[in-house]
A and B are shown apart, each in its own frame.
Chain A
Amino acid sequence: MSIISVKNIHKTYNENTVPVHALRGVDLEISEGEFTAIVGPSGSGKTTLLNIIGGLDRPTEGDIRLDQTELSTLNENQLIEFRKNNIGFIFQSYNLIPVLTSKENVEFVMLLQNRPKKEMETRAKELLNAVGLSDKLDQRPAQLSGGQQQRVAVARALASKPRFVLADEPTANLDSKSTADLLDIMAKLNQEEQITFVFSTHDNRVIERARRVVTMVDGKIESDETFNR
């Protein structure tokens, strides 16, 4: 049973006089608990596809369904609400709130969900412990390394108990050790909590760990391979 269903998605940008076709009829089905990497060269459309799956952008044409919800039927506020409760985002440049500590950054998403204070505190500590940052609870992003910040971002993405985590080039700014640590953490969470992970990446270190690799070229899916890892 697919938890993410993408059907004939097209996306055309008309920012300049010449229209740019970022996606040209993409079909993709992703099942619950998958650990999928969307790969391809720059400009192949992988980030655009991820943005559309995450409800951050709307397709020019086509349907996108996430766990029985047709995203095109949601208005902007409903989309924000949907993202808040169902999707965790990990961005390339971490994007933590600079004035909040690690713990507060993780709690922030739960704050938006109006969770009780006690629950927020407990879960934030658990998640930061899970990503190996139990000793950095009160540090602000500027006091953490890139790898540590990205681990806080992972904890934040999981704080809302999402069905899916979408990660756009999560390891692009990390060294080998931090990348390996991060992938270990995400793989563990994927297996233990059955959270569906979808990455866009062109990092071989990530591709080697993915159980499914979808390759995109020029806005189309060129190959879709599954591995037993």
Chain B
Amino acid sequence: MKQIFKLAWRNIWRNKRRTLITAASVFFAVLFASSMKSLQAGAWNEMIKNVTSLHIGYAQIHAAGFWENRSIDKSLSEEDILQQLNEVEPEGLVGYLPRLESFALASSGDKSGAVLVVGADLEKEEQHSELSSRLVEGRLLEKGEPGVILAEGLAKKLNLGLQDSLILSSIGYHAASAVGLYPIKGIISFNNPELDKQFCYLDIQVAQEFYAAEGMLTGMVIHLEDNSQLDGVLTSIRGQLPPEDYEVMDWMELMPDLVEAKNLDEAGSFLILGILYIIITFGIFGTLLMMTRERMYEFGVLTAIGMKKWLLSFAVWIEIIFMGFVGAFAGIFGTMPIVAYFVQNPIDMSKYSEDAASTYEKFGFHPVFPMNFDINIFTSQAFIVFIICTVLAVYPILVIQSLKPVQAMRK
């Protein structure tokens, strides 16, 4: 078998120029495909990480039916849920973040706007998302402190800064009137245009007082060590909580629009890469066609001296795989440093085009795109090349199988 591999390896270099041209086409395809997939995965991972780590979390627990209309009236009792959750200690769980969230009208002077008020235990939130690292000005709230932390975009919109005050008005639990005046203690930036223009934080107790919902929560965020433990943790928690009283949702259920947009984007890139690989396929096929025609005589001689057709077919298949892999591995090793560089130095669109950056922001994307260094992206390219080469090898294999030594040698 070693000799067959040696033969195949030497055969691909019989016509160096042709092999190099074929390998170069595979190289560029893999380079382009790997870079594109890494950038796409990096951008989406960043987006999902931002949204999940800063706000949604990997999963949440609500009262049954809450997420459908997100009414504060569908709140759950903090005491009851904690009692239930004390019964389970799934592996990978760090803790729970109590939240009381609802919309309110924020106003200051003659400016006003709708805001999402997030009542949260900021000490726990700090452990979960290092909220303080996002502070642009000021500080986080202390436990029970009557103050507000505003998102940067919202502060700009309302023309507010530290030491200014904000009036919040809304409808509280069971239609209670909710009005409050809160001094601004901090300004925070999420690097996410959607979050930046609508968020404000209150301490959980202050929020409960504001919405007249003492001891009530709209949800609990499940804080995990990492995303890989999500399924196991959710299974344990779902097993403990009665489904008629509680709903336990992962981030994909909480943000179906984001998942759909990601799938749509991936489908688009799949189409582009599909077209690219079809072009490459024809390139490799052209090489195979020439190679097969040129070597009919040799194939005839090899079968004449006793080489079985399956063995000859296998040797030719190995040759084709080698040729594809020369390009694929060159492409992978060429892409790795590029991707590694852009993981450390994300592409900041605002440096290149303000217009493009603002367009991304309008669609809710932070216009800074890191790449994602995922070995699966590279191995999947090698796998695609392997499949293409294997499928294309059918042609010379069919020719070999139907080969008649005398006719082949006569040609």
Which A residues contact B (CB, under 8 angstroms)? 51, 54, 56-57, 76-77, 80-81, 83-85, 89, 91, 95, 97-100, 104, 107-109, 111-113, 156, 160
Known: A99-B11, A100-B10. A85 touches B405 (CB 8 A): no
B406 touches A85 (CB 8 A): no
Min CB distance B138 to A, Å, is 74
Chain A residues whose C-beta falls within 8 Å of the C-beta of B409 in the assembled complex: 91, 95
A112 to B308, CA, bound (A): 8
- The answer on a CB contact under 8 Å between B3 and A111 is yes
Given contacts A56-B405, A80-B309, A111-B3, contact A89 B304 (CB under 8 A): yes
Q: How far is the CA of A100 from the CA of B304 in the complex (A)?
A: 18
Contact yes or no, A109 B306, CB < 8 A: yes
The reply on B384 being an interface residue by CB < 8 A is no
Residues 155-197 of chain B, each 1 if its beta carbon lies under 8 Å from chain A, else 0: 0000000000000000000000000000000000000000000
Whether the pair B301, A91 counts as a contact (CB closer than 8 A) is yes
From A57, A113, A156, give the contact of B406 (CB < 8 A): A57
Chain A residues in 8 Å Cβ range of B305: 83-84, 89, 108-109, 112, 156
Contact indicator B308/A77 (Cβ below 8 Å): yes
* Interchain CB contact under 8 A, B311 and A83: no
B406 adjacent to A56 (CB under 8 Å): yes
In the assembled complex, which residues on chain B have CB atoms less than 8 Å from the CB atom of A76?
309
Report the Cα distance A156→B305, complex, angstroms: 9
What would be 21 A-B contacts, judged by CB atoms less than 8 Å apart? A56-B406, A57-B405, A76-B309, A77-B308, A77-B309, A81-B308, A83-B305, A83-B306, A84-B305, A89-B304, A91-B301, A95-B297, A95-B409, A97-B298, A100-B10, A104-B3, A108-B305, A111-B3, A112-B307, A113-B306, A160-B306
Enumerate chain B interface residues (CB-CB to A < 8 A): 3, 7, 10-11, 13-14, 297-298, 301-309, 311, 404-406, 409
B5 to chain A, nearest CB (A): 12
Q: A51-B406, A56-B406 are in contact. Are A97 and B311 (CB under 8 A)?
A: no
| Chain A residues touching B, majority SS | helix
**B306 & A84 in contact (Cβ 8 Å cutoff):** yes
Known: A56-B405, A91-B409. A100 touches B308 (CB 8 A): no
If A80-B303, A80-B306, A81-B306 are given as contacts, then 12 extra A-B residue pairs at C-beta distance below 8 Å, sorted by A number, are A56-B304, A56-B405, A83-B304, A84-B307, A85-B306, A95-B409, A99-B14, A107-B3, A109-B305, A112-B305, A112-B307, A113-B306
Which chain A residues lie closer than 8 Å to B298 at the CB level?
A: 95, 97
B301 touches A95 (CB 8 A): yes
Q: Which residue of A lies closest to B302 (CB)?
A: A97
The answer to whether B307 and A97 touch across the interface, beta carbons within 8 angstroms, is no
Instruction: List residues of chain A with CB within 8 A of the CB of B10.
Output: 99-100
Q: A137 to nearest B CB, angstroms?
A: 16
Chain B nearest Cβ from A23, distance in angstroms: 13
Contacts of A156 in B (CB 8 A): 305
A108 to B312, alpha carbons, bound, how many Å?
A: 13
Q: How far is the CA of A100 from the CA of B7 in the complex (A)?
A: 7
Contact assessment for A112 and B14 in the assembled complex, using a CB-CB cutoff below 8 Å: no
A111 CB contacts on chain B under 8 angstroms: 3
Residue of A nearest to B401 (CB): A76
A97 and B7 form a contact (CB under 8 A): yes
**CA of A112 to CA of B307 in the docked complex: distance in angstroms?**
6
For residue B311, which residues in chain A have a CB less than 8 angstroms away from its CB?
A: 112
Q: How far is the CA of A83 from the CA of B304 in the complex (A)?
A: 7
Give B254 Cβ to nearest chain A Cβ, in Å: 61
Residues of B within 8 A of A84 (CB): 305-307
**Across the two chains, which residue of chain B brings its CB closest to A160?**
B306
In the bound complex, residues from chain B placing their C-beta under 8 Å from that of A89 are: 304-305
Residues from chain A with Cβ under 8 Å of B307 in the complex: 80, 84, 112
Residues of A within 8 A of B306 (CB): 80-81, 83-85, 109, 112-113, 160
B308–A80 contact, CB under 8 A? yes
